[in-house]
Amino acid sequence: MIAGLRAVADWVWLVPLLPLLAAALTGIRVLLGRTAGDAGEPPTARLAEAAALGALLLLLAIDLSVIWHGWPGSRVVATWFAAAHWQGRVSFLLDALSLPVATLAALTGWLVVRFSAPYLHREPGFHRYFIVLGLFLAGIQALLLAGNGLLLFLGWEMCGVASFLLIGYAWQRPQATGNALFAFVTNRAGDAGLLFALGLAAFWVGSFEWQDLFAARLPLVDLRVLALGFVVAALVKSAQLPFTPWIARALEGPTPSSAIFYGALLVHAGVFLVLRLDPWLQQLPDVRGGLLLIGALSALYAWLCGLVQSDVKSALIYATVFQVGLMFVAIGLGWTTLATAHLCLHAAWRTWQFLLAPSWLTLTRERPPAPPRWLAANRWLYGAALQRFWFDQLGLALLAEPTRAIARDVRALEANFIDRAIGEPGRGRPVDPGRSLVCADGLPGRLLAAAAGLLQRFENRLLLRGRGGIGERLLREAGHWLRVLEELLEQPRYLMMAVMVTFVVIL
């Protein structure tokens, strides 16, 4: 039994794969039309539940094995792809950071799946929800257990896409889709940081494995740039300043999804990433200082905004951001163990709160407390908090509007010049009045038409014509002259002359 546990860590790849398989199976069932009506719901829910439970049990078994066999450390499962000297591997790093968080994530995931089945009963997007949830669970586990930056990025993106899809769960409402887009686009900024850092890692270190990255002796400047890429990604994902606004808009999805995404797991992914980078951060006190500052500011901001919120979910999300800000402060101070513990406790607690949110009114039966008097007295601060310090509007004015203007200009350029130069199908003019279907548009098309027209004229000359061609005219003329010659030869005097000429030539 105990010896058998030693090998269990080799099966860790099943943890992300199980929810993914469940999602795929549900997707296939939807495609085959097997999910109609009430009878279609239990299999979907049970499948997702089984996958979540399987992942949880597997992780618990690995945790058990740790007691006897110690931390499994890095496990390389397969080579994903290889090009030249570097490779992307499917590898997992099971240590004191990833295993507890992953186990907690699996537990939360399982509970939320169980909670969701009755909560979403007879919702139109029931199966869609479970497919996306499976995608998310797979993504978050890949992110947490990843032994290299590439697999982490894969999980990171899967989570981002799942988050986008669930915020836009009620896609019939324009507000939901707008918010989904907002959250997604903000997250792309973080992805850019991550990709940037990964690219630099491939370039400077030649590997994506965490151990190789941490063992590499890089100049401090390079290390700082590398770490900053990751840190930006972490700040975006954990909704720290100045990226906080997206998370307030992300609560459009169904409540259980909000619980798992923004209460429990996804919002902590950034904290987790920074904790993972701890070996680097210890060499970079200035980056740690920056984290401390941003965490403190975010906490302050979230605290002020949270005080004036009037709905449950918004209040909860600002409380979440506040706590996450505190985690960054702890990391900035170097108290990583505290931050890890804080992360786990906060995730557990907040999940419960979010799941409870719909019942909050019945539970409390009271009006929420009014904002404290000192805040109400300070009009300016109160207004700023109510407006969430105008971050939304700032982002819109500074980023979205200029982007939109550029897009408009580029579109105009496209419509006025490039489209016309390239040509559009169905808009061309016939190259020949007799051939209405042979049309050409745009520069290449006109060039083609001109060349083809030229060749066609040449071709028409080249083809032997039955009547009236050059060949026939020449033949007729030759025939005419031959006939004249023959007529001349028929006259005796010319015949004699020809015979004489022949003799002269012979002699």
Partner 1 sequence: MLKLLVFLPVFGAALLAVIPGQHRQLLWRLALAWALAALLVTGALLVVFDPAGAPVQLFESRAWNARLGSYFALGIDGISLSMVGLTALLTLVAVLVSRHIDSPRLYYVLLLLLQSAMFGVFTARDWSLFYVFWEATLIPLFFMIDRLGGENRQRAALNFFLYTLGGSVFMLVALLFLYDAAPGHSFAMHDMAEGGRGLPPAMQLLIFAGLFIGFAVKMPVVPLHGWLPLAHVEAPSPVSILLSGVLLKMGAYGLIRAAETLPAAFVAVQDGLAALALASLLYGALLAWRQQDLKAMVAYSSISHMGIVLLGIAALDPAGFNGAVLQMVAHGLSAALLFLVVGLLYRRTHSRDLADYDGLRGRAPRFAFFVAFGLFAAIGLPGSAGFVAELHVLVGAFRHWGLWVIGLGLAMLVGAAYGLRVVGHLLRPAVRSTGPDDMSGSETVAAGLLAAGIVVVGIWPAPLLTLVGGSTARIAALFAGS
Rounded least distance, CB 460 to partner 1, Å: 10
**Does residue number 436 form part of the binding site for partner 1 (CB under 8 A)?**
yes
Sign of the four-CA dihedral 427, 431, 433, 437: negative
Instruction: Compute the C-alpha angle 174/177/178, nearest 5°.
Output: 80
- Residue 84 interacting with partner 1 (CB under 8 A): no
Minimal distance, residue 467 CB to partner 1, in Å: 9
DSSP for 175-191, please give it. HHHHHHHHHHHHHHHHH
Task: Specify the length of the chain in residues.
Answer: 507
Q: Which residue has 């499976």 as its token pair?
A: 134
Place of tokens 């028929």: 490
- Which of 345, 397, 455, 501 touches partner 1 by CB under 8 A? 455
The smaller minimum CB distance to partner 1, of residues 33 and 433, is found at: 433
SS3 333: coil
What one-character DSSP code corresponds to residue 334? Answer: T
Which span (202-210, 267-275, 396-404, 430-438) binds partner 1, by CB under 8 A?
430-438
Burial label, 365 (beta-carbon count in 10 A; 0-12, 13-18, 19+): exposed
Helix (H, G, I), strand (E, B) or coil at 72: coil
67 vs 462, which CB is nearer to partner 1?
462
Angle in degrees, CA 287, 293, 296, rounded to 5:
140
- Residue span 370-409 as binding mask against partner 1, x where in contact by CB under 8 A, dash where not: ----------------------------------------
Q: How far is the CB of 451 from partner 1 (least distance, A)?
A: 5
Sole binder of partner 1 in the list 451, 485, 488, 501 (CB under 8 A): 451
Provide, rounded to whole angstroms, the least separation between the CB of residue 471 and partner 1: 10
* CA dihedral sign of residues 424, 426, 432, 437: positive
- Report how far Cα 280 is from the mean position of its chain's Cα atoms: 27
The answer to the question of residue 452 lying near partner 1 (CB under 8 A) is: yes
- The pairing of strands 435-440 and 429-432 is antiparallel
Nearer CB in complex with partner 1: 32/463: 463
Alpha helices in 149-261 (DSSP H): 149-167, 174-204, 210-215, 220-237, 245-249, 255-258
Q: Which is nearer to partner 1, 195 or 452 (CB)?
A: 452
Letters for 459-488 (x = contact with partner 1 by CB under 8 A, - = none) are: x--xxx-x----------------------
Per DSSP, what are the bridge partners of residue 73?
Answer: 94
Q: By the 8 A CB rule, do 262 and 323 touch?
A: no
Residue 473 CA, distance from chain mean position: 73
φ, ψ for residue 73, nearest 5 deg: 75, -145
Distance CA 265, CA 349 (A): 12
Nearer to partner 1, 28 or 455 (CB): 455
Nearer to partner 1, 42 or 453 (CB): 453
- Cα distance between residue 316 and residue 309, in whole Å: 9
Q: How many residues lie near partner 1 (CB under 8 A)?
A: 20
Smallest distance, partner 1 to C-beta of residue 473, A: 17
Q: Determine the interface stretch with partner 1 among 201-209, 409-417, 457-465, 495-503 (rule: CB under 8 A).
A: 457-465
Please, which residue, 466 or 492, has the CB nearer to partner 1?
A: 466
Measured from the CB atom, is 33 or 426 closer to partner 1? 426
Count helices and strands in the chain by DSSP H and E runs: 25, 4
Tokens 């490779």 locate to 87
| Residue whose CB is less far from partner 1, 401 or 459 | 459
Structure tokens at 217: 């002796």
Give me the amino acid identity at 218. Answer: L
State which residue, 121 or 457, has the beta carbon closest to partner 1: 457
User: Smallest gap, in angstroms, from Cβ of residue 390 to partner 1?
Assistant: 53
Stretch that binds partner 1, among 117-125, 226-234, 327-335, 436-444 (CB under 8 A): 436-444
Smallest gap from Cβ 433 to partner 1, in A, equals 12
Among residues 82, 453, 487, 489, which is the contact residue for partner 1, using CB under 8 A?
Answer: 453
Stretch that binds partner 1, among 117-125, 368-376, 391-399, 451-459 (CB under 8 A): 451-459
Residue of 133, 135, 171 lying closest to 259 (CA atoms): 133
Shortest Cβ 453–partner 1 spacing (Å): 7
Q: Which is nearer to partner 1, 408 or 476 (CB)?
A: 476
Relative orientation angle of helices 220-237 and 174-204, to the nearest 10 degrees: 160
Contacting range for partner 1; rule: CB under 8 A; set: 39-47, 58-66, 103-111, 429-437? 429-437
Nearest to 353 by CA among 317, 311, 305: 317
Beta bridge partners of 92: 75, 146
* Nearest distance from C-beta of residue 470 to partner 1, angstroms: 13
In the complex, what is the shortest distance from the CB of residue 319 to partner 1, in angstroms, rounded to a whole number? 57
Among 7, 407, 438, 482, binds partner 1 (CB under 8 A): 438
Nearer to partner 1, 28 or 450 (CB): 450
Bridge partners (DSSP) listed for residue 83: 86
Contact 356, 299 (CB under 8 A): no
Contacting residues toward partner 1, per CB under 8 A: 425, 431-432, 434-438, 448-449, 451-453, 455-456, 459, 462-464, 466
